[in-house]
Amino acid sequence: MKGEKGERRKKELLKIAYRMFIEKGYDNTSIDEIITEAGIAKGTYYYHFPSKEATLEAVIDMMISEEAERAKNVISTPIPVPQKIVAVTMSMRPQLEESGIAGTLERSENIVMHEKINLRILDVTVPILTEVVKEGISQGIFDCTNVEERVKMILIICQRIFDSGSFNERDVEVFIDMTEKTLGAKTGTMSFIKELIH
CB 109 within 8 A of CB 24: yes
Q: Does 192 bind DNA (CB under 7 A)?
A: no
Q: Does 48 bind DNA (CB under 7 A)?
A: yes
What letter represents residue 37's amino acid?
A: E
Q: Is 79 or 112 the residue whose CB approaches a second copy more closely? A: 112
Q: Applying CB under 7 A, which part among 37-45, 138-146, 147-155, 160-168 lies near DNA? A: 37-45
Which partner from the list a second copy, DNA, none does 177 bind, CB cut-off 5 to 8 Å by kind?
Answer: a second copy
* C-alpha–C-alpha distance, residues 41 and 171, integer Å: 49
Distinct helix (H) and strand (E) counts, the chain: 10, 0
Q: Is the dihedral of CA 148, 134, 178, 196 positive or negative?
A: negative
* Helices marked H in 49-146: 52-75, 81-90, 94-98, 111-138
Nearest to 26 by CA among 95, 160, 100, 117: 117
Q: Does 5 bind DNA (CB under 7 A)?
A: yes
Q: Does 2 bind DNA (CB under 7 A)?
A: yes
Q: Does 41 bind DNA (CB under 7 A)?
A: yes
Distance set, CA 175 to CA 55, 103, 169 (Å): 36, 20, 10
Please pick, from the candidates 46, 160, 187, 196, the single residue that binds DNA as defined by CB under 7 A.
Answer: 46
Q: How far is the CB of 133 from a second copy (least distance, A)?
A: 13
Q: How far is the CB of 79 from a second copy (least distance, A)?
A: 26
Q: Does 51 bind DNA (CB under 7 A)?
A: yes
Which partner from the list DNA, a second copy, none does 24 bind, CB cut-off 5 to 8 Å by kind?
Answer: none
Q: Applying CB under 7 A, which part among 24-32, 95-103, 105-113, 116-124 lies near DNA? A: 24-32
CB 64 within 8 A of CB 117: yes
List interacting residues with DNA (CB under 7 A): 1-7, 9, 28-32, 40-48, 50-53
